[in-house]
Amino acid sequence: MPQILRIDRIESNFHIPTWHVETDRGPRSFEIPSSRRDIRVLGEGRVLIRDADGNRYEIPDYRHLDPASRAFAETLI
């Protein structure tokens, strides 16, 4: 499962956010149809994300992201 290292930006079109991120496997862009269903916050700041295609991503601890990325993450979790 790719780990998100940085969130470059999050754009929203018709209330569907498109995340542009840097992962441990390179840059990715993906849509999340429902923040409620597709973003799960677990203990110790761990976040699991499922995109519209069923791909999964992990943020091991969103509190350790850079300040800009953390601000993006906190708006949606």
Q: What is the mean pLDDT of the chain?
A: 93
pLDDT in tens, 6-42: 999 999 888 888 999 999 999 999 999 887 889 999 9
Q: How many other CB atoms are there within 10 angstroms of residue 47's CB atom?
A: 19
- Provide the pLDDT confidence category of residue 1 given band limits of 50, 70 and 90: very high
**Gap between the Cα atoms of 9 and 17, Å rounded:** 10
* Boundaries of domain holding 37: 4-76
Take residue 38 and report the two structure tokens written for it: 């597709």
Domain count, the chain: 1
Q: Sort strands 4-13 and 16-23 into parallel, antiparallel or unpaired.
A: antiparallel
**Gap between the Cα atoms of 77 and 75, Å rounded:** 6
pLDDT score recorded for residue 19: 95
- Provide the pLDDT confidence category of residue 47 given band limits of 50, 70 and 90: very high
Q: Would you say residue 77 has pLDDT above 80?
A: no
pTM for this entry? 0.89
